[in-house]
């Protein structure tokens, strides 16, 4: 059960990261801002996943 859950989270984060890369390939000022937002979203998602994992294993 836990492994399935973790696998789904990894897939979701990977999908988020890949959509950021796919949709914003050019480097205009606005797209740089969007890219930074994407990366912040990815980072917060990773932190969220780590916290969930720690809850399950503590």
Compute the distance between CA of residue 7 and CA of residue 20 in angstroms, rounded to an integer: 20
Write the pLDDT tens digit of every residue in 6-54: 778 777 777 766 666 666 556 666 777 777 777 777 777 788 888 888 8
Helix axes 29-57, 2-23, angle to 10 degrees: 170
Q: What was the pLDDT predicted at 51?
A: 84
How many CB atoms sit inside 10 A of residue 21's CB? Answer: 10
Q: What was the pLDDT predicted at 21?
A: 63
Q: What was the pLDDT predicted at 48?
A: 82
Helix (H) or strand (E) holding 55: helix 29-57
More confidently predicted of 31 and 4: 4
Place of tokens 């059960």: 1
């Amino acid at each position: 059960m836990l492994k399935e859950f973790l696998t789904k989270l990894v897939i979701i984060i990977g999908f988020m990261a890949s959509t950021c890369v796919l949709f914003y390939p050019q480097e205009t000022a606005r797209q740089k801002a969007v890219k930074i937002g994407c990366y912040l979203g990815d980072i917060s998602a990773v932190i969220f996943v780590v916290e969930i994992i720690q809850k399950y294993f503590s």
